[in-house]
Amino acid sequence: MTSEHRTQVPSALPTPARINLLDLDRAGFERLFAELGQKPFHGRNVFKWLHKHGVVGFDAMTDLPKTLRQRLGEQTEIRLPRIVHEQPSGDGTRKWVLELADGQRVETVYIPEVGRSTVCVSSQVGCALDCTFCATARQGFNRNLSVGEIIAQVWHVTRQIGTAPTNVVMMGMGEPLANFEAVVAAMGIMQDDLAYMLSKHRVTLSTSGIVPNIYRLREVADVSLAVSLHAPDNTLRDQLVPINRKYPLEELIPACRAFIAGDKRRRVTWEYVMLDGINDSLTHAKRLIRLLEGTPSKVNLIPFNPFPGTDFATTPPERVEAFRQRLLRSGLMAMTRKTRGDEIAAACGQLVGRVADRTRRQAVPLDLRLAAR
C-alpha cells in the first residue's frame, strides 16, 4: 500500500477541562447557559439547586430537561474539596480540614452562638503577610483559593449543620484582599437570594491593611470591614504587622473612613490581639484612642491564642479589662472577644491547614511580604 492510501490516525486531542460550577456566580451561570443555547432561567435554577438546596447531582435537578442534564454532566462539574478531618470543641465550635484538588489543605471554623452562627472562611493556602503572632503565617504561602474553593467552605458547613450560617467572616487562612477578585465573587454568592441570603451586615472581610484594595472593595462589594490593627502606632505595628511598612497608619485610617463614608450605621471593626507586655498598657490604650478619634469604630480585644513555637504570651484578663475600660471611658465601643475553639486550635490566629510553601518566604512579591530593607 502506498503512502497516499495509508489510513491516517489522528493524534489524540486533550480533553477540555470541564467548568467547575462552584466558580460561577449567578450572572456566570446565566452566561454559561446562554452559551449552551439555553434560557437564563435554567442557569438560575441550577445555581439555586447547588447553593440553596445543596444538590450536586444533575439527575436530581428534576426541573431541567433530560438532554440538558446530560450535557451539563459532559461539559461541567461540581468539584468540591474533600473533608479529611473534623474536630469538635467542648464549646460547640467545629473545625474542618478541607483537602483541595492539588493536595493542599485549608481550615474552616464554625462558631455557634445563641440566635446566630458564624463561619470563618479561608481565602488562601497559607498567608504571605508574615504577621509575627499568627500561626498561619508560620506555614508560609502557596497560592490563592479559587471562587469555588472559597464558597465550597460555606457549602460544606451548611450541609454539615443543616442550615445556612447567619454570619460569614473572611478571617480564616490568608489575606482576603490579596485574592481580591475571587473573594469578591465568593462574597457575592454568599449574599445572593438564591444561595445563602446573607446581608451586607452579615458578611465581614478582615484585612491586615492593603490600602488600595480597601478603596476598590468599597466600589464593588457591600460588606462589613474589619481591620487587623494590633498596635496604635507605626513603630510597633511595623514589627507586628509587616504590611504596615508599605501602608502605614496615615494611609490605612483614611481608607477605612472612606469605606464607611455615607452610611451612619456603619463602623469599622478593629481587631486588636492583646500581647502580654507588648501592646496592652494603658499608654497603648491612650494612643489607640487618639488614633481612632473621628472614625466610627468598634474595637475587638482578642486574647492571644498561643501556638507551638511562639514567643508571645497572653495578656492577663484583668489587664485586658483595664484596657477595655479605658477605651469605653473615651467613648469607643470596645468588647473582649470570648476565645472559642482554642482547645482544637480553631481560635483566632491558630489556623494552619497543610501548606506546601512554594515561596520559601523570599519569593513572595514585595507588595505582600514587605520585608524590611
Catalytic machinery residues? 107, 348
What angle, rounded to 10 degrees, do the helices at 211-220 and 180-191 form? 30
Please name the residues in contact with 220: beta carbons below 8 A apart, sequence gap of 6 or more. Answer: 184
Cα distance between residue 302 and residue 272, in whole Å: 6
Q: Are 26 and 192 in contact (CB under 8 A)?
A: yes
Cα distance between residue 95 and residue 283, in whole Å: 37
Four-residue CA torsion sign, 225, 364, 79, 100: negative
State the CB neighbour count (10 A cutoff) for residue 6.
8
**Burial category of 254 from C-beta neighbours within 10 Å (exposed 0-12, middle 13-18, buried 19 and up):** middle
Cα distance between residue 218 and residue 259, in whole Å: 6
Cell numbers describing residue 43 = 442557569
Looking at the chain, list the stretches that DSSP marks H as alpha helix, in order from N- to C-terminal side.
26-35, 40-51, 66-75, 135-138, 147-161, 180-191, 211-220, 234-240, 249-260, 282-292, 317-329, 366-369
3-state DSSP assignment of residue 176:
helix
State the CB neighbour count (10 A cutoff) for residue 31.
14
| Single-letter amino acid, residue 262 | G
Helices H / strands E in the chain, number of each: 12, 14
Q: Are 280 and 318 in contact (CB under 8 A)?
A: no
